[in-house]
Amino acid sequence: MNAAESATSSQATARARVLRPLSGLRGGLAEVYRVLHAHPELSFAEHRTARAVAAHLERLGMRVTTGLGGTGVAGVLANGDGPTVLLRADMDALPVHERTGLPYASTVDGAMHACGHDMHVTCLLGALELLALGTDSWSGTVIGVFQPGEEVGGGAKAMVDDGLFEKTGRPDAVLGQHLAPLPAGTIGYHAGPALAATDALHVRMFGRGGHASRPETAVDPVVMAASTVMRLQTVVSREIAGNETAVLTVGALHAGSKDNVIPDEAELEISIRTYTEDVRRTVLAAVERIVKGEAAVAGAEREPEITPLDSYPVLVNDEAATARTVAAFRNHFGAAAVIDTGPVTGSEDCGIFATAAGAPLCYWFFGGWDPEAYAAAAATGTTARDIPSNHSPYFGPVLEPTLTTGVTAMTVAALTALAGEA
């Protein structure tokens, strides 16, 4: 056995030792997940979740800081010399009414963990517990970060601006993961630009109200908004090159309150996803031109208002760190369970931690859907219809092997980085 093979064997042995207690932790972690799922909290209102997380970290003997960026929590586990590795989970839920029918479904009307953040929190707590129990198998410092406000794009920045690194130390590597509509037990990754940048816009279009029976006396903002929505669909198809990627979605349109009243204004909310600054500028300029142009054509007497809302940068996975982490995943889970998903048009602000620290980032996905159900849908080409995606009111991952996979993946990635491999 050469030196490289010996090192790999030694690392595999250390991983096995650290992961050994997981079987005894599963029951407690599953209950943590069920409680979190039943009690979702919206962005920057994660008070109950933050208290539960802080209490759990204190029981592990970690040095805990609360109130970071509002409701963020960070715990530090120092264990001698070695790299400092930041492990991140987001905590917030979405304003979605749950329709999964699960016995532990949301008890909060109009709020739901429809994106898996409850699973992210649970898996990170599990990984930190394994690392705390297995300190004889690694050295260095682990920072567990539980972030608020990911869904509105401000949580990571808020924690950094609030002095996260001054309180925890500056990491040498940043690791994060996200639940995805993939078969449970699988890991997805992509090196380089992995998740898109997002720009969310709020648009107000102003007409002149009147009676529905006399539209000639009004400037109808409903028609103005409808025309704008349809025209916006041409931005990607007619202004973005075929070898570039952009997504433009009008996610909300609000106007009027009664059938026989033409309202004074209409509101749109627009989501834009891009990977390059050139494409981003092109799409934003096109949106502004179309919104203003449609208002002018309709005879609006007041120019529309376009207000930026959420914004996320492109998430870029470090090539070398990703290669080393993926090699460790393949070694542990098997090559068939680890797939390159390609770039994903969803967005994430986890990369802000890495950028602010000047550290490499590795961010991956883990599946949450019953493998047999997923395989059946894939066989009939109906995964888009039959496998609920993130943000769906039917988003309800199977507890196992999802939980075990998420805890294991975060632990394996952490140990790889602590060994100086990521």
- 363: closest CA among 377, 376, 349? 349
Active site residue 92: yes
Query: Is 332 annotated in some ligand binding site?
Result: no
Cα–Cα dist 358/379, whole Å: 44
- Which position has the token pair 């500056």? 170
Using H for helix, E for strand and C for coil, what is the string for the chain?
Answer: CCHHHHHHHHHHHHHHHHHCCHHHHHHHHHHHHHHHHHCCCCCCCCHHHHHHHHHHHHHCCCEEEEEECCCEEEEEEEECCCCEEEEEEECCCECCCCCCCCCCCCCCCCCECCCCHHHHHHHHHHHHHHHHHCHHHCCEEEEEEEECCCCCCCHHHHHHHCCHHHHHCCCCEEEEEEEEEEECCCEEECCEEEECEEEEEEEEEECECEECCCHHHCECHHHHHHHHHHHHCHHHHHHCCCCCCEEEEEEEEEECCCCCEECCEEEEEEEEEECCHHHHHHHHHHHHHHHHHHHHHCCCCCCCEEEEEEEECCEEECHHHHHHHHHHHHHHHCHHHEEECCCECCCCCCHHHHHHHCCCEEEEEEEEECHHHHHHHHHHCCHHHHCCCCCCCCCCCCCCCHHHHHHHHHHHHHHHHHCCCC
Helix axes 22-38, 47-59, angle to 10 degrees: 160
Angle between helices 117-133 and 402-418 (to 10 degrees): 50
Neighbours of 106 (CB within 10 A): 23
97 is in an annotated binding site: no
Catalytic residue among 90, 98, 118, 150: 150
Q: Bridge partners of 272? A: 199, 248
Catalytic residue among 90, 92, 220, 265: 92
The answer to whether 391 is annotated as binding is: no
Task: Check whether 113 is labelled as a binding-site residue.
Answer: no
Q: How many residues does the chain have?
A: 422
Binding residue numbers: 115, 117, 151, 178
Binding residue numbers for Mn(2+): 115, 117, 151, 178
Residues with active-site annotation:
92, 150
